[in-house]
Chains A and B, each alone.
Chain A
Amino acid sequence: ETGVTQTPRHLVMGMTNKKSLKCEQHLGHNAMYWYKQSAKKPLELMFVYSLEERVENNSVPSRFSPECPNSSHLFLHLHTLQPEDSALYLCASSLTTGVSSYEQYFGPGTRLTVT
């Protein structure tokens, strides 16, 4: 596998479920990001990790819980979500944060539907 991969590609979950999104990058990058894309809205930055440390949390509700066990893997743990959380969740990576973060490489996204 090359680039940035995300699993699952599609996920349907109830509001009481707990699920996790997984992202893996094979680029040797040190920074990883979670973005959310809702219908007819721009991509919104959720979390930034640099060398496995969270460096930014953009006022994201606590029902979204990220985890970065190493620089190649990033998870987004989901629990008690709301229907309005239905969106495309994109993972991205860059060589580092700072100037190198300008060029970010994106995964294909997970299409999440909360019922």
Chain B
Amino acid sequence: DQQVKQNSPSLSVQEGRISILNCDYTNSMFDYFLWYKKYPAEGPTFLISISSIKDKNEDGRFTVFLNKSAKHLSLHIVPSQPGDSAVYFCAATYLGGGADGLTFGKGTHLIIQP
């Protein structure tokens, strides 16, 4: 059973507009969430994270929002740029999780159109 879900396999957004990528999770023990970005032929790179004690974290053009009651988080990119075209993975983990690994969603392929 998937504990982290990204229900949109792909998303197309016009350059300059806002991109919103969504992620849902089912494990209420998760207390730290991350977004990774992956270009073809490269490994994922860390983008931004948020702790469950916050509901928003901002870094430049990237903002992550967390709604704990809905078990939902979203990544906002504004304004969207051509270099943002990539696959975005949502990931989650929790303190004392044992493995200390991350649980990933399947990813959303973001395409920024000129």
Interface string of B33-44 (1 = CB under 8 A from A): 010100001111
Taking CB atoms and an 8 Å cut-off, the chain A residues in 71-113 that contact chain B are 90-92, 94, 97-99, 101-109
Q: Which of B42, B91, B100 contacts A56 (CB 8 A)?
A: B100
Chain B residues, Cβ within 8 Å of A90:
43-44
Give the docked Cα–Cα distance between A45 and B34 (Å).
Answer: 16
Chain B residues, Cβ within 8 Å of A103:
34, 46, 49
Interface string of B1-34 (1 = CB under 8 A from A): 0101000000000000000000000000000101
Asked if B102 and A108 sit within 8 Å, CB to CB, the answer is: no
Please tell me which stretch of B58-66, B67-75, B76-84, B103-111 contacts chain A, meaning at least 4 of its Cβ atoms lie within 8 angstroms of it.
B103-111
Q: A31-B100, A48-B99, A108-B43 are in contact. Are A102 and B34 (CB under 8 A)?
A: yes
Q: Which of A50, A55, A92 contacts B43 (CB 8 A)?
A: A92
Q: Which of B2, B46, B102, B107 has the most CB of A within 10 A?
A: B102
**A42 interface hit (Cβ, 8 Å):** yes
Asked if B101 and A56 sit within 8 Å, CB to CB, the answer is: yes
| Nearest CB in chain A to that of B49: its residue | A102
Chain A residues, Cβ within 8 Å of B93:
101-102
Give the docked Cα–Cα distance between A56 and B34 (Å).
Answer: 21
Nearest chain A CB to B71 CB, angstrom units? 17
Give the docked Cα–Cα distance between A40 and B2 (Å).
Answer: 13
Give the docked Cα–Cα distance between A45 and B44 (Å).
Answer: 14
Asked if A108 and B100 sit within 8 Å, CB to CB, the answer is: no
Nearest chain A CB to B95 CB, angstrom units? 7
Chain B residues, Cβ within 8 Å of A98:
95, 100
| Nearest CB in chain B to that of A46: its residue | B101
Give the docked Cα–Cα distance between A108 and B42 (Å).
Answer: 4
Chain B residues, Cβ within 8 Å of A92:
43
Q: Which of A6, A43, A108 contacts B89 (CB 8 A)?
A: A43
Nearest chain B CB to A1 CB, angstrom units? 14
Asked if A97 and B100 sit within 8 Å, CB to CB, the answer is: yes
Asked if A42 and B44 sit within 8 Å, CB to CB, the answer is: no
